[in-house]
Structure 1
Amino acid sequence: MQLFGLVLALVGFLSATTANAQFGFFDQMFGNQQQQQQQHHQQQNVRSDSSWYQAQYEGAHCSNYLCPGTLSCVSFPHHCPCAWETVEDKAELGDGIAVCASKGGYNVGETARKIELARKGLL
């Protein structure tokens, strides 16, 4: 009878340990996942002030003109590339001034055409 009680106590202990290990595993797994998501979310956030950008600008080395929007080093300000060339077109307005604007449609040069119409007051 003592052997039966000992076996029963051992089975109970092993069951409790196994259950704790299982739930501990899930807690650790899901807890870790939540912690990783929080860390990932924290890594994506950037400061809301301009000090980070200013530090990048001041730390950039350029012997000619440093484009403020892309931090590209070019010979002249109107040579600055657009920051998002896949969705923006650059249009030169004259006197060394260039602007980047959202692409105007499916036709090549449509952005420049619309900017020119706007300059003439026709758009």
Structure 2
Amino acid sequence: MAFIFEPSHDPRGESMAEEFFKAGDKVKYRGMSMPATIVSGPHKSPGVQRFLITKADGNVSLVPKRDLERIVPRLDQMAGTLAMHTFGLPFASLNIRDQVKLASLARTVLNIADRTRGEA
């Protein structure tokens, strides 16, 4: 039996509703390599929602939501990639047994990569 998640939730159970950014969250900001921090929001403005962010250089900006992107942890990226290569399906659509196996495998792979960093 596979668990199919609604579009409003991601596999970790976090709400992915319209306002899933919260104050203090680290996010990717378009055009910058370093993450930004959400200060407050969403603020209603004509056309789009905007968030007040502190950029890595210390400047504060009011930016539209479309310029922000959630930072996905390495473990989630690895588990998602393994699911697509192994089963050809997204991680969220796998049954719980396969999700647990892939999460454990992803954790092991990342631990090995961290331990052997810099080695040939």
TM-score, with length taken from structure 1: 0.20
Larger radius of gyration: 1
Structure with a larger share of its residues in helix: 1
Structure with a larger share of its residues in strand: 2
The structure showing larger relative contact order (alpha-carbon pairs under 8 Å, at least 6 residues apart) is: 2
TM-score, with length taken from structure 2: 0.21
